[in-house]
Structure 1
Amino acid sequence: MGTTLMTGASRGLGRHAAEHLLRHHPDCHLLVFNRRAGLAAELAAATGNPNVSEVICDLASFGDIRRAAAEVDRPLDGFLGNAALQMATTRKLTADGVEMTFGVNVLAYHLLLNLLRPRFTNPARIIVVGSDVHDSAHNSMGLIPPPRWDDPRELAKPGEGTAKAGRRAYATSKLGVVYLVHALRRRLPDGVDVYSYNPGLVPDTELSRDAGRLGRAVFRAVGRALVALPVATTAVRAGRLLAETMAGPRPGDSGSYISRGEVIPSSPESYDERREEELWTAATALTGLSRTPHRSA
């Protein structure tokens, strides 16, 4: 029985993806990383599939990520990184003093995937959920400003206390996801594939939960209208497609950008090996991996 480790399985499209995997791929064991206990029992009860377990993990703490990764005691042939944050400002910090959006959406995955590398079997598939807002040419229905890349050490620092800054940080972090995937692809052996995945515009999620009561109400109202348009999709449909990309036939060459199940080019800006390596080096230092002894498989 293979094991897929998943983050962000408690709500929204991630919850639907997790339930779809358990219902339609019963021979796969799902290991969920979640901030609260009880998610595995909920998923087992909802799907009738007991092949699910959990490790408590707060992705906003490097120490907690290290502790949780050390608790993974089985080989992994899949990784689905869905958890992400969109903050109302860039003032909030992780437990390690890093700007929250960049810390969780980029640095946490860099740390977690590097710690788990000895656990991946061959073949294995790694997917980190990104977004089309990583592309400066993407309009985002006017909701998300385009990304603004900078030295990763600067992106890790707190910034402005405005909602626009918070939304821009989200777009920038998703550009960082594509950079990390490209850099990781160069470091993985043949047979261990890594992808960034764009689920499309999914308005009926709780991504805006940090926006305050009024902001959440506005986002929900806009979301109900957008779901009816071709540019958007529901969490149920997005979760099902994400699950099948995870568990179905090989979707494409390692390092590919997959948008709603189809391999397409990511933004022109996202193909920049200098930035990719700069991010890898900075993320390795910021997460303390440069001080972590090498662990063989």
Structure 2
Amino acid sequence: MPTANRSLIMTGATRGIGWEAARDVLRRRPDTHLVVLGRASSASGILTELREISPHVSHVDIDLASKASVAAGARLEDLLDSGALPPLWGLVFNAGVHLSNALEATVDGYERTFAVNVMSTHQLLRQLHPHLRPPARIVVTVSDAHFGDLRHTGGTMPSPRWAIPDISRPGAYNRSGNVRAGRRAYVTSKLGGIYLVHEWSRRLPQGVDILAYNPSLVIGTGLARETGGAFPFLMRRIVPVLAATPLVDTPAPAGRKLADTILGATAAPTGAYIHRTKAMPSSTESYNPDREHALWNWLEQLPREQPLGTTD
């Protein structure tokens, strides 16, 4: 086994397409040290399986729904600075939640979907991006559900509703306790992920690329488990019928496509939106520099959190 000479830090590597992508990256680039960020309860068994592919796998226990827990990722900075981890060449933000309502609050009081899918990504980027060594690549998993139209969602998802800072608060949507509000919170958060990619692409140094990756419709990822309504039934019973068509992927091929984006096998300029295997335009609404800048400013103005277990 080659010595690891570069580090890749990844959220959402414990199931679905993230798990498949992590395995594929370790096989194709055995010189990579993979750092899995996530809750210990989700990572315990997965780490053993990943280490069967490569010994260069470690884990940092982080709850993406807690700003203080995410701030604890600063320990990664110490490991990178000391050389305990090899130089950082990649960040992958693949974790996400899709809930059955828009009422759930994090420990910090934010709406949980927005906090996990948007706020934690920016917070980790803010902490870790100075440690990236060009050429480097950042990948943020988004979704074509952000289009919110019949063509891209089959009528199963509403259109996004963008309003910062309102959408960061529980109860911001009409009838926030129902399933449709949970779906609107999800598609809005995915629109927010693309806004982050666009704004960060203007701020990162040359040689550090950031991309939005859309796996499109993938069955068997577990993402639908908390969505409520008829959506879990559709994902279990109806959508799998389409798995033999180009319309739907299963986790293994979708994970390989994500790995292609991570490793640079899928070529695209920084700030691009990659649909499965190629760069293409995202929704018209997703190109809005005013919204992108406003989101950046709002996230930057939030109070900085101390890592858990520390004091001022």
Instruction: Give the alignment's Cα RMSD to 1 decimal.
Output: 2.0
How many residues align structurally?
Answer: 288
Q: Tell me by how many angstroms 1:143 deviates.
A: 1.8
Work out which of the residue numbers 128, 134, 137 in structure 2 matches 1:125: 137
8 Å CA contact 1:111–1:289 kept in 2: the answer is no
Q: Tell me by how many angstroms 1:40 deviates.
A: 2.5
Alignment of 1:1-297 (within 5 A): 1-36=5-40, 37-38=43-44, 39-45=46-52, 47=53, 49-72=54-77, 73-74=79-80, 75-137=87-149, 138-150=151-163, 152-159=164-171, 160-211=176-227, 216-249=232-265, 251-286=267-302, 288-289=303-304
Give CA-to-partner distance per residue, 1:176-209, whole Å, 9 cap, x none: 0010011111111100110111011102211112
Structure 1 unmatched ranges of 5 or more? 292-297
Hey, what's the Cα distance between the residues in 2 that align with 1:216 and 1:69? 37
TM-score, length of structure 1 as denominator length: 0.91
8 Å CA contact 2:71–2:305 kept in 1: the answer is no
Q: Tell me by how many angstroms 1:230 deviates.
A: 2.3
Structure 2 unmatched ranges of 5 or more? 81-86, 307-312
Identity of aligned residues (%): 43
Hey, what's the Cα distance between the residues in 1 that align with 2:109 and 2:22? 31
Q: Tell me by how many angstroms 1:216 deviates.
A: 3.2
Letter aligned with residue 43 of structure 1: L
Hey, what's the Cα distance between the residues in 2 that align with 1:270 and 1:214? 28
Q: Using a 3 Å threshold, how does the CA distance of structure 1 residues 250 and 221 change in structure 2: closer, same or farther?
A: closer
Letter aligned with residue 23 of structure 1: R
8 Å CA contact 1:284–1:290 kept in 2: the answer is no
Letter aligned with residue 94 of structure 1: T
TM-score, length of structure 2 as denominator length: 0.87
SS in 2 for 1:232: coil
8 Å CA contact 1:57–1:68 kept in 2: the answer is yes
Letter aligned with residue 202 of structure 1: V
Q: Tell me by how many angstroms 1:214 deviates.
A: 7.4
Q: Tell me by how many angstroms 1:171 deviates.
A: 0.6
